[in-house]
Structure 1
Amino acid sequence: MKTVDGVSRRNFLKGAAIAGAGVFGAGMLAGCTSGQHTETAATGAESEQSTAYSLMPGVYQSTVEGKVGPMVVTTVVSEDRLVKVDAGGIESKQFGVLAINTMADEMVRKQFVDVDTCTGATVTSLALIQGVRDCLKQAGDESAFSQAPITESHDEHLSCDIVVMGSGISGQAAALSAAEAGAKVIMVEKLGIPGGAATGSGGAILAAGSSLQNEADGNMDPQGLIDHLYRYSEEQATYDVIKNTVEHSAEIIDWYTSLGVKFQVGECYGTPIHYSHRAWNPDGEEIPHPAGGAIPHPSSGSNIFDRTYPAFLAAGGICLLNTKVTELLQDDSGTVTGVVAMRGGDTITIDAKAVVLAAGGCEGSAEALAKWFPHTNEGMVGGSTGLCNVHDTGDGIELGLAAGGYLTGGGYGQTTGMYSPIPAIKVTMDGVRDSDEMHSELNEDQGSQFKAFYDSGTEYAWTLYGANTQDEAALKALESAQEKGVVFEGKTLAEVAEAAGVDAAGLEKTVERFNEMVAAGKDDDFGTADIAAYGTYEEGPYYLVRYSPGINGTIGGLKISMDSEVLREDGTKIDGLYAGGETCNGEYMYRLYPSGGASLLWGSVSGRLAGQAAAKYVSA
């Protein structure tokens, strides 16, 4: 039986069953035809090198530092064989699980420790390799299993019904929905692990009218959520797109629930009432977030993928990891007929009746942001939180445009991170205060800051610190930042304003007004809950800190129909081409991120609609 990376179909589906119990499957099949799946090697044949070792047989353990905490690596050896590799701890329960499983299997199969790391999980990958090496040192030979197997590279030609480009929230929703409808689906992911940006999210999905919600809070009115999302778009998004998305939201939650995803129903920041559904781990263990802090409950997008990914495999789906789609194939009429992809140095051509583009936005590419999302700046590139996927470089958008699609939306980034850990006034270049800095109503006030930032037409905004806000930690941070040219100091407000290029008269007027409200104990301008905590700005030195918002993603992308078909500028559809998620969210949002759970709602709904529509198209 031929295999890919040594994983037979039997063992691959066994891996999927394990994934259904709470972790991702660890294999990858490479080929299928429109009629049935076949098991062919897509990366070349490999032959193991014959090398004699003299190890002390046994079970060895080593504790190494992973991405989110300690990882205990267990290695079993015989005198001359690597028998088993495993890892436990926090790392194995969340973000690095597929990297661990994939690499551990590959190490044993190849009898080679220094296998390729999983792109997207580099820290976890390197930690696993180090842990195995530590174990081998205990067994008597740290350098054992260092000789790489011989690999013969060759190209591959495959066929299926539908190719899904990307394996994030939208890609998996599309792929599984199409597979459930009976289509033969290949999901292609350029990273070494599936999941995309949603893996590191809090796992919240906005929805109205789900069965769980009805049981917990009564029937939540979809109109309230529709109005919230439309208002937050400053009425610039397409109302019918928002309405269509919300009207499918209950179905999405019920679908995920039927797959075994556990949700907690409740409030999520920025939503007026309890529309949030958080995918959570029923074990209740708090898991650190890669960006810092901990995931509550714990909830995470990974808890969705723990169910959707193995369900996709069990439905006959195939996932090609470490494989990048580089070209859409089209016939003379413009109908999409497949893709060309690269895996290592090998070219993989896949004939298909339809393609779904679900490869995210382009927050990881300065070039793509400058070209398609002009209302971002250099400081935003790459993001400031764990929610941003730096590997999202606009691949799907670029392919869709080349196929005849066009861009829609305002061309903005999903902004984040415009707040201070200690009380301080935030002002524009005009020296004018723009929002409640303490975020008494978190998303509302972040939104007003982002709006003021965009409306100012500048790349930066400013935070003012005075003697009232200084403490030892703050001073140390300010002194460090001065060396980077983002902090400006002055003995007076006029001096610091001049140094920073901020309007001095505007700043002085703002501070005078602010001091009056602090003394009165009430913020009449923006409703800060505890304005007295700021203290009054009475004396210097003063510091103005320049900042720009970070970015979680992008808002814009390809124009699609209500069924997620990619459209040309004249309104006609490109036959065989669909899109979902951040690749095409320009009519769902405008320039302000509406609230936690909005992106996963859009990704889930648009992806599922794309998969269902593509399956219907190929069966016609």
Structure 2
Amino acid sequence: MSVSEESFDVVVVGSGGGGLIGAYTAASRGLRTLLIEKTDKVGGTTSYSGGGSWYPGSAPLLRSGIGESDLEAARTYLRAVVDDASREDLQDAYLAAGAQLIDELEKNPVFGQFDTAPVPDYFGTVEGATLHGRTVFPAPVPVAEIGEHADIVRRSIYTERYGHTEDEILIGGRALIGRALKAFLETGNGTLKLNTALTELVVEDGRIVGVEATTDGQSVRYRAGRGVLLATGGFEHNTELRAKYDNYPLKGDWSDAVGSNVGDGHVAGIAVGADTELMDEAWYISGVVQRDGLPLFNVTRGGIWVNGAGQRFTNEAAPYDQVGRAIRAGDRTTGVSHAPTHWIFDHKQLARDGFGGKSPDTPVDEDWFTSGTIKRADTLEELAAIIGVPADALTESVAKFNGFVPGGVDEQFHRGESAWDQMVSFIVGYPALPEQAFVQPIEPEGPNSLLVKIDTPPYYAATILPSDIGTKGGLKTDTKARVLRADGTVIDGLYATGNTMAAMSGTVYPGAGTPVGSTLAFAYLAARDIAGD
């Protein structure tokens, strides 16, 4: 059977932040660039994100008064927290590319100027860490400015799961995607094909020369004269691959990544000889179980978490990757179940922060209880029986925590002491929907605002599951994002970025915006190499 064929200079697979920035970079250099996306929306998991990129030394930071010397401090910090000499070249390439990319994007009015926000680095005691952070964000943009293509920008995770109404202004990751889509199409060299899924890579004489795909049930071939960039995200929702590579959690529907991420790029790359790294790793988070039974990312500032033994096991307010890893590590090594984790809080916290309610007078909708999502009891002993943990252990855990409050020091896990924790005291993750959440100021009961006694009945337990915003293992690449074989040789014509490539940050999450920053930076490097820059 004949297969239709079209030819381009570059084929980019996947339309998240990396795919769009890679496609824009290539097309803006005059290369005829095809961007294919398997769904009917562009944006991938980037659309679910805050859109930040961890880019030390970039122009927005310089404008805010953070000097160029910060780049070297950031390098020191990155070396220390990653602690993997084999990834140092990738780190240097990333640090250089981030600042260069922002300079280039800001020259295009479609992108405008990027902003900054004070988000402390996640390992605050390591040399080179900062309180101000190094994360830059795309400016919000009205839907009207994006034009006719705004409708194909993927909605937020809240909308896709729960029908939350979107504003007429794109923010965070959606702003980045909307701007990049508009810029790509305005180059005059870009072609976008939705509902077009990669099936395999085309190899001729050892070189990747294109892709095989399906669109509307038909097989098609797109030739790429200069190169193919894989930006298909991770394999979050592929339970078989997660099991094969011991990638925790095994239940793909526990991930907060976009549901279409099943490892298409990984499978295609491995089939043509690509080496892989970090396949058991992910960007971990904790997720509060919603009324549909699925977890959703949150940041906790009140109550305590206990495992199946009724004991605390981590600083609940620590950076999300760190608490996600604490759940993972405990579940694997202690012989005590950490999945699910039980979030214990009292009525005082419920009235303060809300849980899916619409006001302080109605802080929680009753169906959270009738659905069994939140458990409620008049005493801690009764609550322990409901959630299946030892009553004496739970009451002891709460009593110990309450005992820390007057002195302001969490002697178990040092909650509230780091710059990140102190930032958390002013925010709260939304266990329900943004428009249903409200936040009241924390009233200190001691010198540490994140230590507030759990002593006002009734008592509540919500469920926390291990989750992620993406797997981080993938195809091994060099500093130009070229895909490598196990012997270290380059697979000519093949590039990878984002969660399709093995992360430059190894097993850690250094700071806010590292995942998005990585996919943009290495897509930029790939497109520049393809273009011969």
Which TM-score band applies after superposition, normalised by the shorter structure? 0.7 to 0.9
Does structure 2 conserve the Cα–Cα contact (< 8 Å) formed by 1:363 and 1:392? Answer: yes
Q: Distance in 1 between matches of 2:452 and 2:319?
A: 20
SS at match of 1:175: helix
Does structure 2 conserve the Cα–Cα contact (< 8 Å) formed by 1:488 and 1:545? Answer: no
**1:575 aligned residue:** 492
**1:560 aligned residue:** 477
SS at match of 2:229: strand
Does structure 1 conserve the Cα–Cα contact (< 8 Å) formed by 2:283 and 2:321? Answer: no
The CA deviation at 1:531 is: 6.2
**1:375 aligned residue:** 248
Change (3 A) 1:447 1:434: farther
The CA deviation at 1:358 is: 0.9
Question: Which residues in structure 2 correspond to 1:457-472 (within 5 Å)?
Answer: 457=332, 458-466=338-346
Which is worse superposed, 246-255 or 311-320?
Answer: 311-320
Question: Which residues in structure 2 correspond to 1:204-219 (within 5 Å)?
Answer: 204-219=52-67
Q: Distance in 2 between matches of 1:311 and 1:212?
A: 20
> Which of 177, 181, 194 is the equivalent residue of 1:309?
181
SS at match of 2:63: helix
The CA deviation at 1:395 is: 0.8
> Which of 4, 8, 22 is the equivalent residue of 1:174?
22
Change (3 A) 1:320 1:284: closer
> Which of 116, 119, 143 is the equivalent residue of 1:269?
119
**1:615 aligned residue:** 531
Q: Distance in 2 between matches of 1:312 and 1:289?
A: 21
**2:217 aligned residue:** 345
Question: Which residues in structure 2 correspond to 1:442-521 (within 5 Å)?
Answer: 444-456=318-330, 457=332, 458-466=338-346, 473=363, 476=366, 479-482=369-372, 487=375, 491-493=379-381, 497=384, 500=387, 502=389, 506-521=393-408
Q: Distance in 2 between matches of 1:503 and 1:587?
A: 42
Q: Distance in 2 between matches of 1:531 and 1:427?
A: 22
The CA deviation at 1:247 is: 2.0
Would you say how many aligned residue pairs link Structure 1 and Structure 2?
450
Alpha-carbon deviations, 1:468-503, whole Å to 9, x = none? 656674594663353x6x85869554x655664546
The CA deviation at 1:296 is: 13
The CA deviation at 1:202 is: 2.4
**2:358 aligned residue:** none
Bigger CA radius of gyration: 1
Alignment of 1:361 with 2:234, yes or no, is: yes
Does structure 2 conserve the Cα–Cα contact (< 8 Å) formed by 1:268 and 1:597? Answer: no
Q: Distance in 2 between matches of 1:584 and 1:202?
A: 21
The CA deviation at 1:584 is: 0.8
**1:526 aligned residue:** 414
Question: Which residues in structure 2 correspond to 1:530-549 (within 5 Å)?
Answer: 530=444, 536-537=453-454, 543-549=460-466
Q: Distance in 2 between matches of 1:303 and 1:540?
A: 43
The CA deviation at 1:343 is: 0.9
AA aligned to 1:171 is: G
AA aligned to 1:240 is: D
Alpha-carbon deviations, 1:558-587, whole Å to 9, x = none? 111111111112222212211111111434
SS at match of 2:276: coil
**1:429 aligned residue:** 308
Question: Which residues in structure 2 correspond to 1:73-222 (within 5 Å)?
Answer: 155-220=3-68, 221-222=70-71
**1:31 aligned residue:** none
Runs of 5+ unmatched residues, structure 1: 1-152
Runs of 5+ unmatched residues, structure 2: 122-129, 145-149, 159-163, 288-297, 333-337, 352-361, 417-421, 423-443
TM-score norm. by structure 2 comes to 0.73
**1:322 aligned residue:** 195
Which is worse superposed, 269-278 or 601-610?
Answer: 269-278
SS at match of 2:172: coil
AA aligned to 2:473 is: G
Which is worse superposed, 165-174 or 262-271?
Answer: 262-271
Q: Distance in 1 between matches of 2:4 and 2:271?
A: 24
Does structure 1 conserve the Cα–Cα contact (< 8 Å) formed by 2:307 and 2:339? Answer: no
Q: Distance in 2 between matches of 1:294 and 1:232?
A: 37
Q: Distance in 2 between matches of 1:298 and 1:309?
A: 13
> Which of 94, 102, 108 is the equivalent residue of 1:259?
108
The CA deviation at 1:412 is: 2.9
**2:432 aligned residue:** none
Q: Distance in 2 between matches of 1:489 and 1:230?
A: 48
Does structure 2 conserve the Cα–Cα contact (< 8 Å) formed by 1:204 and 1:278? Answer: yes
Alpha-carbon deviations, 1:383-442, whole Å to 9, x = none? 34xxx32122211111111111132115233233455778311123344324443x3xxx
AA aligned to 2:518 is: W
SS at match of 1:250: helix
**1:120 aligned residue:** none
**1:397 aligned residue:** 266
Does structure 2 conserve the Cα–Cα contact (< 8 Å) formed by 1:207 and 1:275? Answer: yes
SS at match of 2:476: coil
Q: Distance in 2 between matches of 1:527 and 1:346?
A: 56
* C-alpha RMSD over aligned residues: 3.7
Alpha-carbon deviations, 1:286-328, whole Å to 9, x = none? x995526989996333433444334434242222222112111
Q: Distance in 2 between matches of 1:275 and 1:196?
A: 24
Q: Distance in 2 between matches of 1:296 and 1:510?
A: 46
Q: Distance in 2 between matches of 1:350 and 1:514?
A: 60
Does structure 2 conserve the Cα–Cα contact (< 8 Å) formed by 1:173 and 1:308? Answer: yes
Q: Distance in 2 between matches of 1:469 and 1:236?
A: 45
**1:16 aligned residue:** none
Alpha-carbon deviations, 1:492-526, whole Å to 9, x = none? 54x65566454666544432321211244443442
AA aligned to 2:404 is: M
Greater RCO (CA < 8 Å, at least 6 residues apart): 2
Q: Distance in 2 between matches of 1:559 and 1:481?
A: 45
AA aligned to 1:518 is: V
Q: Percent identity?
A: 24
> Which of 587, 592, 596 is the equivalent residue of 2:512?
596
Q: Distance in 2 between matches of 1:463 and 1:229?
A: 32
The CA deviation at 1:373 is: 5.7
Which is worse superposed, 401-410 or 516-525?
Answer: 516-525
Does structure 1 conserve the Cα–Cα contact (< 8 Å) formed by 2:97 and 2:524? Answer: no
The CA deviation at 1:535 is: 5.1
Change (3 A) 1:302 1:509: closer
Q: Distance in 1 between matches of 2:346 and 2:19?
A: 49
